[in-house]
Amino acid sequence: MSSTPVLELQDVQKAFGAVIALRAATIRVDAGSIHALVGENGAGKSTLVKIVAGLYQRDGGTFRLKGEEVDFTSTAQSKAAGIAVIYQEPTLFPDLSVTENIFMGRQPTGRLGRIDRKAMRHEVEQLFTRLGVVIDPDRPAEGLSIADQQVIEIAKAVSLDASLLIMDEPTAALSGTEVERLFAIARSLRDEGRALIFISHRFDEVFALCDTVTVMRDGAYIATSAITDTDPDQIVRQMVGRQITELFPKQQTEIGEPLLEVEGLTRPGVFHDIGFTVRAGEIVGLAGLVGAGRSEVVRAVFGVDPYDEGTVKVAGKRVAPGNPSEAMRAGIALVPEDRRKQGLVTESSVAHNITLAIRRRLSRFGLITTGIENRAATEWASRLEVKTHALDTVAATLSGGNQQKVVLAKWLATGPRVLIIDEPTRGIDVGTKSEVHRLLSELAGQGMAVLMISSELPEVLGMADRVLVMREGRITADIPREQATSENVMFAATHATEQQK
């Protein structure tokens, strides 16, 4: 195997005005290896990837591909050089078939100049066989799972003979089985001699899949290690520049009166006879496998989705169904699972997003001045330690962790009595996770009722006073903290059991 690396960046810099995104980014990726790239949100990983992908151009440093110095000015140049980026949520053409998506812009033609659909389909079948997956080449892309969409992007990269594949948080929305399939494909590509970069916040996946890991912090290179020569604790210290002594800083709080009471909530085919209580000062975890109905239940509680039977009460007063405005007036806040699509106006400023839910309260004669908006936003941006150089920064440019903080700030600004938070730390780094957990614990300590939906079992066990478990639209267990174990929760999530009292 050649000793020349497929990709080599050395002391690469990139700035956006006064904001320095990369100070000294360095990484070397060899053929026939899977190389993890880790760091906190805002460490510069995405900027580095965009330089390699041709979306940005470096301001300084060295960028070499297979030993040749390059500087792409477009994504087309990057792709032509053999680089493919597989994103967390691929963007396929939904109305076109799987085959047409793979060959978009480069369809083979026959002697008369017509597209050779038979040849296209044959090659796609061979690609899927080679990757060990079963997907109908003729079906439309619309309706495909995220996992299958990623496989199609990988197949496209392989058909283009890409030598470097970059997987950016590819497992965030995948089930366990889908992750294993993706890993099997990644290993087969490595064994063919391709180079892969794997970006993830999940250390178990990094250690299960990767050969090498590079750590970034504050836009700069920190360290590179063989995966066998390091451990999660060392990587965390390198990522955050400090010891994370407590990932789940759960405070002991005094549990008060019921604040949120849900009784008999039913929506046929989605959830049935849902009943639970969340008290003041209590964090209740809602656990279960993907598709169990957790998000659907909390969306119904907040009034976003309808329900056919049951009641929702806050502090003993009934909340009308299907009316988020009334839920907000009653004191309920919902931080949604998909913060970018449902929680943020990504093209608006940080200040506008933080004050979005309280604008009526801030307005004077129907008008809101920039000063009033900034004063209200400053308080919450400061309390949640949102990392931004200015409140007029566009929310889309923030890291995932800071976007999550902005969404939290928006809802906490409403002064809720009940906070419902769906997947509070999905896609954010370990340092920010600890900050979010500390905040949830502090809010409960101040008497707020917190309902936390999470697919990360350690998070549920580490933060919840009680764990409600859902399976197929029903609550199958209500487990107190002292009895909540991985085994108990998973058993209730996978077996039909009577709800524990």
What pLDDT score does 495 carry? 66
Compute the distance between CA of residue 35 and CA of residue 97 in angstroms, rounded to an integer: 32
* Residue pair 243/237 in contact by the 8 Å Cβ criterion: yes
Share of the chain above pLDDT 70, in %: 95
Residue with the bigger pLDDT between 450 and 18: it is 450
Compute the distance between CA of residue 138 and CA of residue 439 in angstroms, rounded to an integer: 49
Q: Is the pLDDT of residue 187 over 80?
A: yes
- Comparing CA positions, the residue from 491, 501, 478, 475 lying closest to residue 271 is 475
Structural domains in the chain, CATH included, are: 5-92+144-241 (3.40.50.300), 244-331+416-500 (3.40.50.300), 345-413 (no CATH)
Whether the full predicted model's pTM is greater than 0.75, yes or no, is no
> Which amino acid, one-letter code, is at 258?
P
Q: Is the pLDDT of residue 444 over 90?
A: yes
pLDDT band, very low/low/confident/very high, at 242 (cuts 50, 70, 90): low
Tell me the per-residue pLDDT of 311-350, one tens digit each, with 9 for 90 and over: 999 999 999 999 999 999 999 999 887 766 777 887 888 8
- Comparing CA positions, the residue from 427, 357, 439, 368 lying closest to residue 398 is 427
Q: Is the pLDDT of residue 300 over 70?
A: yes
- Comparing CA positions, the residue from 13, 48, 249, 226 lying closest to residue 235 is 226
Look over the chain and give the mean of its residue pLDDT values, rounded to a whole number: 88
Q: Bridge partners of 474?
A: 471
Residue with the bigger pLDDT between 230 and 501: it is 230
Tell me the per-residue pLDDT of 378-420, one tens digit each, with 9 for 90 and over: 888 887 778 777 788 888 888 777 888 888 888 888 889 999 9
What pLDDT score does 379 carry? 82
pLDDT band, very low/low/confident/very high, at 501 (cuts 50, 70, 90): very low
Residue 447: partners with Cβ closer than 8 Å, 6 or more residues away: 256, 280, 281
Mean pLDDT of 234-256: 79
Mean pLDDT of 148-165: 90
Q: Which two tokens stand for residue 485?
A: 């174990």
Mean pLDDT of 156-173: 88
Residue 101 has phi, psi (to 5 degrees) of -65, -40
Question: What is the pairing mode between strands 7-16 and 60-65?
Answer: antiparallel
Q: Is the pLDDT of residue 147 over 70?
A: yes
- Comparing CA positions, the residue from 440, 432, 423, 380 lying closest to residue 401 is 432
What pLDDT score does 500 carry? 40
